[in-house]
């Protein structure tokens, strides 16, 4: 259960005013030091092939599927027909606004024929407790830490193998979660370099959020927008094709935002940009009901 919603909203607004769109805004996030984080990541990688880990992974995946059915049963997916030729081996990118927003991507993968979905997570998520902490450790998660040896020697080959096996890899290019924030944020470049290097497509996703209930007892409804797969242009350099994919992904997310909310995108903060937060926006709820 996430608390301190008013503090989180204030942190989001402050980060927007500083144009710091990758800021950590969650006051309750774990704060281990670098050595503790490196140790946790190394331990996580070292046990991935153990029988105990695989048993827990099976439990975690079934739990994640159950949460998906419970939380996303009424979620509409718009543009799913664009994925008729996709058979796995792709990256999914999604705006990051909830601890369980991966269930949207999971529902999409189920709808297009199933397959394994791996989720790139921040290293500090390994320190979470409870049910969410269990999922963060075992639901096919891949921790990222800013360590060159790990990134090049462990993470990149692991992701390459997943793509070659026809699996999906969900990445949050915005990096940090901004609770219930409606707008797309500029992306970090990592996933686009992976897609460029491995010759894999990006499936751009954008989730729109509507308020149900009221500001005192908020609930959420979602619409998931699916863009045309973005394929790397192998006729240009790796750096150039990664930059083009990054630009195309962000452009789609802005277009999806404008389509979902029927308003022009601007990066500045406006009342109603945070669902279920400071300002309740019944207009968006009514808009969803007409879609």
Q: Dump the DSSP string for 89-142.
A: -EEEE----STTTHHHHHHHHHHTT---EEEEEEGGGGG--HHHHHHHHHSSEE
The tally of domains found in the chain comes to 1
What residues make up the domain containing 216? 5-289
CA torsion sign for 125, 126, 130, 134 is positive
Q: What mean pLDDT value characterizes the chain?
A: 92
pLDDT digits (tens, 9 = 90+) for 169-189: 999 999 999 999 999 999 999
Here the CATH number for the domain that contains residue 113 is 3.40.1130
Q: What is the mean pLDDT of residues 58-86?
A: 96
**pLDDT tens digit sequence for 236-273:** 999 999 999 999 999 999 999 999 999 999 999 998 89
**Per-residue pLDDT, 290:** 57
Mean pLDDT of 12-21: 97
Confidence band for 1, pLDDT divided at 50, 70 and 90? very low
- Tens-place pLDDT, residues 264-285: 999 999 988 999 754 455 555 5
196: phi > 0 → left, psi -120 to 50 → alpha, else beta; which? Answer: alpha
């Amino acid at each position: 259960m996430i608390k301190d919603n008013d503090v989180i909203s204030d942190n989001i607004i402050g980060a927007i005013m500083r144009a710091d769109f990758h800021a950590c805004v969650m006051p309750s996030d774990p704060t281990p030091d670098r050595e503790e984080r490196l140790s946790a990541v190394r331990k996580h990688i070292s046990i991935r092939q153990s029988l105990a880990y695989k048993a827990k992974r099976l439990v975690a995946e079934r739990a994640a599927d159950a949460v998906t059915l419970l939380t996303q049963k009424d979620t509409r997916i718009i543009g799913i027909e664009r994925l008729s030729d996709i058979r796995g081996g792709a990256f999914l990118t999604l705006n990051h606004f909830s601890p369980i927003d991966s269930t949207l991507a999971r529902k999409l993968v189920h709808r297009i024929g199933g397959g394994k979905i791996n989720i790139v997570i921040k290293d500090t998520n390994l320190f979470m407790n409870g049910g969410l902490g269990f999922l963060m450790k075992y639901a096919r998660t891949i921790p990222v830490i800013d360590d060159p040896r790990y990134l090049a020697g462990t993470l990149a080959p692991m992701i390459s193998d997943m793509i070659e096996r026809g699996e999906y890899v969900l990445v949050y290019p915005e990096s940090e979660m901004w609770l219930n924030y409606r707008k797309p944020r500029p992306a970090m470049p990592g996933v686009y370099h992976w897609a460029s290097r491995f010759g894999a497509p990006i499936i751009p996703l954008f989730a729109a959020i509507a308020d149900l209930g009221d500001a005192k007892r908020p609930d959420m409804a979602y619409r998931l927008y699916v863009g045309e797969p973005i394929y790397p242009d192998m006729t240009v350099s790796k750096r150039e094709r990664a930059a083009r994919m990054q630009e195309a992904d962000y452009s789609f997310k802005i277009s999806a935002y404008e389509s979902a909310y029927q308003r022009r995108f601007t990066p500045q903060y406006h009342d109603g940009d945070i669902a279920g937060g400071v300002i309740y926006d019944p207009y968006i709820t009514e808009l969803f009901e007409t879609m």
